[in-house]
Amino acid sequence: MTTLLERPEDMLRDLRNQLGPQAVLIGNEVPARNCNDWSASLPQTPLAVIRPVDAAGVAAAIATCRKAGLPFVPQGGLTGLCRGAAPEPGWVAISLERMTGIEEIDRASATMTVKAGTPLETIQKAADEAGFFFPLDLGSRGSCAIGGNLSTNAGGNRVIRYGMTRELVLGLEVVLPDGTVITNLNKLMKNNAGYDLKHLFIGSEGTLGIITRVVLRLFPKPRSTMAALCALKDYAAVVALLDAARSGLGPLLSAFEVMWPDYWEMITARAGVKPPVAAGHGLYVLVEAQGTDESIDAPRFQAWLEGLMERGLLADAAVAQSLAQTQKFWAVRDICAEFGQVLGPHISYDIGLAVARMDEFVTRCKAALADGIKGCESVYYGHIGDGNLHLVSWVTGLPIERQPKDAMDAIIYGLVREMSGSVSAEHGIGTLKKQWLGHARSEAEIALMRTLKAALDPDHLLNPGKVI
Amino acid sequence: MTTLLERPEDMLRDLRNQLGPQAVLIGNEVPARNCNDWSASLPQTPLAVIRPVDAAGVAAAIATCRKAGLPFVPQGGLTGLCRGAAPEPGWVAISLERMTGIEEIDRASATMTVKAGTPLETIQKAADEAGFFFPLDLGSRGSCAIGGNLSTNAGGNRVIRYGMTRELVLGLEVVLPDGTVITNLNKLMKNNAGYDLKHLFIGSEGTLGIITRVVLRLFPKPRSTMAALCALKDYAAVVALLDAARSGLGPLLSAFEVMWPDYWEMITARAGVKPPVAAGHGLYVLVEAQGTDESIDAPRFQAWLEGLMERGLLADAAVAQSLAQTQKFWAVRDICAEFGQVLGPHISYDIGLAVARMDEFVTRCKAALADGIKGCESVYYGHIGDGNLHLVSWVTGLPIERQPKDAMDAIIYGLVREMSGSVSAEHGIGTLKKQWLGHARSEAEIALMRTLKAALDPDHLLNPGKVI
């Protein structure tokens, strides 16, 4: 019996006897991978890592942590950028890394039931092999776990067509901070029997419960992909193009990625990417559509673009003639993943803004950064159709630890507040953006978040101090 | 000052002085419309009806109710079927009927901001006039209010393409049970700054807060509509047709309505609907697709159907050659709204089931009702692609109050529990389905719902006793 033991380490060893030697790693046994996320903050070593294989094991882990009075943090692929899954010294990490695998594909319901530690790429491939498409896609697809995608409500490139992760989830199993297992592996699009509890856990960054299994929606596999790189004279033309894409391509529209000229010039000058259209324009847009029949969809896409050229909406445009060319177009947009090599040390931002005000933000933010911080440069790009803007800022020559992040934060998030935007469009809050949450949410909203947290986790042992 | 007044009626009169004579109706002034929903239960007259024109007015109404210790229930169009918005004697109804109107259409964000009392049909028309499409559609469109659509997470015919009401909402303003106004009129698809609080209020049937304003997503207007009525030999063929529709029509698929043969025979024999295909088949399916270009989409739809005929999947099929014909096809499905005249007194059910198990349910349920209740007949139809089955059961010759509803409930919801379905796919729980909630949700889930209710409404004054 563990009730007579007193030291947390002894309680953890007792749990190891219960769950097996691979399930509990203590002190020096803690692997480096469990000490940090991808945010490039300093690693922090937890007291222990618990690696259960099912919800009952998570409940047992929680019971031990509660008995020992130890804070605990859920971990998936640890690819987060805001320290939502990062541990603190003295905490226990409950990692779902051994809880992987696809439990079922239900063809009639078009659903897949998976364990929460399963990497996104594994899910994408299993859907593909079963003749379906799972649309969520991020740069970290090979490393991130679906449970982490849920806990951060991950976005990515295809939100304009398929929605955020939240929209791709039908059911889940979650372990509450008190160890209660809630199993609702719902497969129904329509289910209004009582409160829809899953939305409480999706996007709350592991502060309200630990997701252990997920039922995902599957979609028909696209059978054609069309892409164009368009150059436009100004942002009004970009908004008109977005309107034309929505109405002309309808539900086939699958991406609408906008790049401001500084971004375009930097990638062509510094990164050596050969651009599909010439420089010198006001803005650049990558438009993608996915359909069901290449022979019909491709000519139609081409005709739609030609119509826009005739209307004078586009200054220039290149249409991909093959999948290889589509991938080349995407390379222009995806190069931002390699900014480290291109730019050197820099700070990345992920913000939300009303579509209509994006360009105003870019102009004002660029000027404010240049005026307020000596030598500060910045470039802008984003998933405009979803209201999501990314920006990267830096002072050339300074190492990362001397980049004026605090001053940049103050300027950028100050403008976000002024323009009623969001300080996090898709990366979450974690601890790194916590001080700026009040720039995007009212006091009443944050108070309600605290009420929910206190109702579910009155002892504040689950991932304390994250988000709110 | 009201603090010296003691009687609730006096406090309500004081509120009338504050909000105006149209805003507070007491005792005999209470209109009949505020005493019941569409569930055909007995009307109950509340002590008063408060009709504010904005969130501050709702907060003032709540303050008065709290001071007087009176339970209060939010009301929209009162078209609900489960008594979620129905008052009890001694309660106060807070009706949003004077809080109507469209505040803004943001073309670039493709959003519409509306007051919560606005009728759904007003929203549909405003979207249409602005060149957009708002896809939510229900039989009660002329009477139901958008706030009520949110509070019940309304479904309808186009869920397979556009999702439930929940998926159509980006932001909202809500007044909490303590009178706090939460304003988050978010227009961004991507916004992960803290917990997504709106999902707490959507689908909770007015038990956690009173929604006062809503930001809705708008969609491109469909420019072509294709429809076919298909006859198939058995349910396996229906599942194969659903798979073929998902992959062949892709995102254009906008409805997939299945009718079992008893339904088909009844509507043709008793309702006098002239069916587009002959009787005698195993099942009937109405397939609808909406596209962007009639000249391309219509021949493509026709070719897709011909391919299915050649494969032998369809026993028979009729393709609509005009919008008038499409409407005739829908009449076959929509006739269920007139069941009262066709069938006489009957009980309607709205349940959720995994697509793969629908036909098994229909066979077992029909037999169990006929075996268990003397003279009990039943017919079946539904939005199969969403996992939503409707059924209607009756004993011929009995008036509504003598229909054996309790016995039907026990058989139907017993089977739903056994087959892991939902006791409410789209109508909600209210009070009428409350005793069956445990057939669809676990004790742990219901306990968590109670935790949330207690956290937001510790005095249980907002719509008490509904849902849980």
ipTM of this predicted complex?
0.95
Residues of A in contact with B208 (CB under 8 A): 195
Above 60 in pLDDT, residue A1? no
- pLDDT of A416 higher than 60: yes
Average confidence (pLDDT) over A231-259 = 95
CB spacing of A454 vs B455 below 8 angstroms: yes
Name A445's Cβ contacts closer than 8 Å, sequence gap at least 6. Answer: B182, B184, B194, B197
The arrangement of secondary structure in B102-220, i.e. its CATH architecture, is: 2-Layer Sandwich (3.30)
Q: What is the pLDDT of residues B104-154, one digit of tens each?
A: 999 999 999 999 999 999 999 999 999 999 999 988 999 999 999 999 999
**B157 touches A: beta carbon within 8 Å:** no
Closest residue to A194, CB basis, from B193, B386, B437? B437
Confidence of residue A374 (pLDDT cuts 50, 70, 90): very high
Percent of chain A topping pLDDT 70:
99
Q: Among all chains, which residue has been given the structure tokens 């164009």?
A: A228
The pLDDT value given to residue A332: 85
Q: How far is A10 from chain B (nearest CA, A)?
A: 31
Angle at A444 between CA B214 and CA A208, to 5 degrees: 90
Q: What is the pLDDT of residues B395-407, one digit of tens each?
A: 999 999 999 999 9
- A276: pLDDT confidence band, cut at 50, 70 and 90? confident
Q: Which residues touch B318 (CB under 8 Å, ≥6 apart)? A: B228, B229, B276, B277, B329
Please answer whether residues B182 and B197 qualify as being in contact, where contact means their C-beta atoms are separated by less than 8 angstroms.
Answer: yes
8 Å CB contact between A367 and A373: no
Q: Residue B4: its pLDDT value, please?
A: 56
Yes or no, beta carbons of B180 and A109 under 8 Å apart: no
- A89: tokens are 């010294």
B289 touches chain A (CB under 8 A): no
Question: Is B161 within 8 Å of A251 when comparing Cβ atoms?
Answer: yes
- B8-95 fold: 3.30.43
Q: How is domain B224-336 classified at the architecture level of CATH?
A: 2-Layer Sandwich (3.30)
For the cut 90, the answer to whether the pLDDT of residue A76 exceeds it is yes
Distance between CA atoms of B317 and A355, rounded to whole angstroms? 45
Using CA atoms, how far residue A339 sits from A10, A144, A334, A344, B154, in Å, is 46, 20, 10, 7, 45
Give the pLDDT of residue B2: 47
Length of chain A: 468
Residue pLDDT, tens place only, A119-165: 999 999 999 999 999 999 988 999 999 999 999 999 988 899 999 99
**Position A334 confidence tier, pLDDT thresholds 50, 70, 90:** confident
Return the CATH fold of A344-445. Answer: Alpha-Beta Plaits (3.30.70)
Kindly state the helix (H) or strand (E) to which residue A212 belongs, with its residue range.
strand A210-217
| Residue B125: per-residue pLDDT | 98
What are A252-273's pLDDT values in tens digits? 999 999 999 999 988 878 777 7
Helices and strands in chain B, H and E counts: 14, 18
Q: Is the Cβ–Cβ distance between B65 and B92 less than 8 Å?
A: yes
B193 vs A449: CB contact, 8 Å cut-off? Answer: no
Q: Are B83 and B39 in contact (CB under 8 A)?
A: yes
Whole-number pLDDT of residue A331: 86
Q: Is A224-337's fold the same as A344-445's?
A: yes
pLDDT exceeds 50 at position A99 = yes
- At B361 the three-state DSSP class reads helix
Q: What is the per-residue pLDDT for A4?
A: 56
Residue of A nearest to B240 (CA): A108
Q: Which helix (H) or strand (E) holds B314?
A: none
CB contact under 8 A, B451 and A456: yes
Nearest CA in chain A to B176: A448
Chains A, B: CB pairs < 8 Å: 293
Name the residue among B161, B246, B387 with its Cβ closest to that of A188. Answer: B387
What's the pLDDT at A358?
Answer: 96
Does residue B411 contact residue A139 with C-beta atoms inside 8 Å?
Answer: no
**Res. A192: pLDDT tops 80:** yes
Low pLDDT (below 70) residues in chain B: 1-5
Q: What is the pLDDT of residue B3?
A: 53
Q: What are the residue boundaries of the structural domains of chain A, listed by start?
A: 8-95, 102-220, 224-337, 344-445
- Domain covering A224-337 assigned CATH 3.40.190.80 in the classification: no
Query: For residue A347, what are the β-bridge partners?
Result: A393
Cα dist. B341→A238, B274, B346 in Å? 54, 17, 10
Q: How far apart are CA A94 and CA A211, in angstroms?
A: 11
Place of tokens 């077992």: B364
The pLDDT of residue B276 is 87
Q: Does residue A40 register a pLDDT over 80?
A: no
3-state class (DSSP) for residue A51: coil
Above 70 in pLDDT, residue A324? yes
Average pLDDT over chain A, rounded to an integer: 94
Nearest to B423 by CA among B347, B346, B352: B352
